[in-house]
A = this chain, B = another copy of it.
Amino acid sequence: MTVGLTVIPQSLAYASIAHVPLQYGLYTSFLGCLIYIFIGSSKDVPFGPTAIVSLMTYRTICEYGPEYAVLLSFLTGATQFVMGILGLSFMIDFVSGPVASGFTSAVALIILTSQVKDLLGIPVTGTVFIETWSSIFRNIHYTRFWDAVLGTVCITSLLTLRIGSKIPLSAIDKNGVKRTKFHIWGSRFLWFISTSRNAILVVICGYMGYYFFEKGNVPFTLIGYVPGGLPQVQIPPFGYEKKEGNKTVYIGLYEMVSTMGSGIVVVPILGLLENIAICKAFAHGKTIDSTQEFLAIGVCNIANSFVQSFPASGSVSRSAVQHFSGSRTPLCGLYTGTIVILALIWFTPCFRFIPRATLASVLIAAVIFMVEVKVIKPMWRSKKKDLIPGLGTFIACLALPLEIGIFLGVGINLLFILHQAARPKITVEQLKTIKGIDYLMITPDRCLIFPSVDYVRNLVTKHSCKKKLPVVIDCSHIYCADYSAACIIEVLTTDFSSRNQLLIFYNLKPSVNAVFEGLSPKDFVVVYDKEILQEMLRSESLVI
């Protein structure tokens, strides 16, 4: 029920983020939510409109109208479903924690920025982050006094009430003392008030709006008429008729799809990213079935598109509400879905009196905690280099289109992996056998594959030419190799034998040996036993 009370104001607000009529937010919040009960794998995923997906929907369909949003929901679901069937869930693994944090923080800031205009009641232009803020500062003198006051009061109360959601509810307090019934019920009541703070605030402000409306003088901007009733069940619009002046133009599927462009791939992936993040966060030592989630979210989005919804996913902010309300199975979606249906049938006429500033406050209070400043400190202490993709993604997402921003972030991160593959650490030591014979021990610390083989060859050649000693390459850590590595090994053995220098491969894994043997290199000496190695080095020095 708390989730249901949260989702109603949030879904109106997210619909405004997606730039579709507000009732579409409610349409998005019930059918998928009910279907998820049967096919979802996580008890903590509240399916419905979310900040990231709503923003990306807007970026994809721009101002083209709700038909595009509904079609996008269908395409998003279809893409997610196909990705699930193809087993592409591993793709999510390539978005690292730092990149996801940077992206989420940027989304939060962008949404926050987009709400400031409603909060202050000023006209704002510009879509890029910096543009919007400069426009806000230019127009700040247009601020509507009562909108700003209402907005500030709303945000303050939401943030204050939020503290209450952390009240412990167990029957026994910290010191193990059993609490009184009065105490228990009191804290439960406070917790409930706090958790459904969005709904309570909206009801109070809505009543205020109604009161002033009846008096004929509303000091703040209201959201206006929201059509009531359940949406019609119909096939998603694979083409629609549009009025241009007096003419009616038919816009086909191909044209609609090409307008949406890369969004058809980006929206599904980001939706899944958010969803899997929730599953992971609340997994508590259980394994997650990502493929199942891909299929479930896909089906929910497809079903949703038949009731005029825009794309949706599991919402991070509501998942916390759901989890801490004590969800046990995905069945809690039943309550959420039912409450939304009831709201659509009975309460929509009241929604018109909700002030815009209140809705903006609901959003701001929800997204402000998505700005993940708190991860910087542990990241700094753990691995400073990981701040680069994190901050890179954050800045890129603010300065560039969001999908390019996250793409860049993932790209930077993958470069780290490639660089690692290209530049193994190689230890070179001059050792003595028991019998006092000097030799060079060269130990690469990871697998030998094409980007690194020339580097390794150059290093081995350099060190072995400098000191004319027998060379032992310790292959204990080489767990794999490819054809390029085999070529280089062949060249190395030939080089060494033409220099009359001994080269021994020590402790080579059989699978790697098979790769090297494929080129049948001459003078290729592999030793597994330490004693034989010592013996070989001794007899070699006798020959020299």
Asked whether A181 is an interface residue with its Cβ less than 8 Å from the other chain, the reply is: no
Minimal beta-carbon separation of A287 from chain B (angstroms): 4
State whether A420 and B480 are in contact (beta carbons under 8 Å apart), knowing that A96-B450, A450-B413 are contacts in the complex: yes
Decide if B417 touches A93 in the complex (CB within 8 Å): no
| Interface: A183 (CB within 8 A) | no
Verify B379–A483 contact, CB threshold 8 A: yes
> A287 — nearest CB in chain B belongs to which residue?
B458
Instruction: Say which residue of B97, B280, B413, B462 sits within 8 Å of A287 (CB atoms).
Output: B462
CB atoms of B285 and A455 under 8 A apart = no
A451-B97 in contact (CB<8A): no
The contact string, 1 if C-beta is below 8 Å from chain B, for chain A 445-471, is 111011110110010011001000000
Evaluate contact between B451 and A417: CB separation under 8 angstroms: yes
A90 at the interface (CB under 8 A from B): yes
The verdict on A159 contacting chain B, using a C-beta distance below 8 Å, is no
Partner of A382, one of B461, B480, B519: B519
The reply to whether A94 and B418 form a contact with Cβ atoms under 8 Å apart is yes
Is A383 an interface residue when CB atoms closer than 8 A count as contact?
A: yes
A291 contacts the other chain (CB 8 A):
no
Cβ-based interface call for A435 (8 A): no
When the two chains form their complex, are residues A498 and B285 in contact, meaning their CB atoms are under 8 A apart? Answer: yes
CB distance from A50 to the nearest CB of B (A): 21
Q: Which residues of B contact A414 (CB under 8 A)?
A: 418
Q: Compute how far the CA of A4 lies from the CA of B434 in the bound complex, rounded to whole angstroms.
A: 58
Is A523 in the interface zone, CB < 8 Å from B?
no
Distance between A144 CB and nearest chain B CB, rounded to angstroms: 44
Across-interface contacts of A445 in B (CB, < 8 A): 479
Interface of A is mostly: helix
Asked whether any CB of chain B lies closer than 8 Å to the CB of A62, the reply is no
The reply to whether the CB of A98 lies closer than 8 angstroms to some CB of chain B is yes
**A483 cross-chain contacts in B, Cβ below 8 A:** 96-98, 378-379, 382-383, 386
Within 8 A of B (CB), among A391-436: 413-414, 416-418, 420-422, 425
Decide if B484 touches A96 in the complex (CB within 8 Å): yes
Tell me the bound Cα distance from A385 to B487 in angstroms. Answer: 15
Residue of B nearest to A487 (CB): B97
Contact in complex: A455, B93 (CB < 8 Å)? yes
- Tell me the minimal C-beta distance from A510 to chain B in angstroms: 14
Tell me whether B479 and A519 are in contact (CB under 8 A): no
State in angstroms the CA–CA spacing of A454 and B447 once bound together. Answer: 22
Within 8 A of B (CB), among A259-286: 280, 284-286
In whole angstroms, how far apart are the Cα atoms of A381 and B514 in the complex?
A: 9
Instruction: Specify which of B93, B487, B519 is in contact with A452 (CB 8 Å cutoff).
Output: B93
A322-364 interface (Cβ within 8 A of B)? none
Given known A285-B498, A287-B461, A499-B285, contact A446–B446 (CB-CB < 8 A): yes
Binding site for B on A (CB under 8 A): 90, 93-94, 96-98, 280, 284-288, 378-383, 385-386, 413-414, 416-418, 420-422, 425, 445-447, 449-452, 454-455, 458, 461-462, 465, 477, 479-484, 486-487, 491, 494-496, 498-499, 515-519
Contact sample, A vs B, 20 pairs, CB 8 Å cutoff = A94-B450, A96-B482, A97-B450, A97-B484, A284-B495, A285-B495, A285-B498, A378-B486, A380-B518, A382-B486, A382-B515, A382-B518, A385-B482, A386-B484, A414-B418, A417-B421, A417-B451, A420-B449, A445-B479, A446-B479
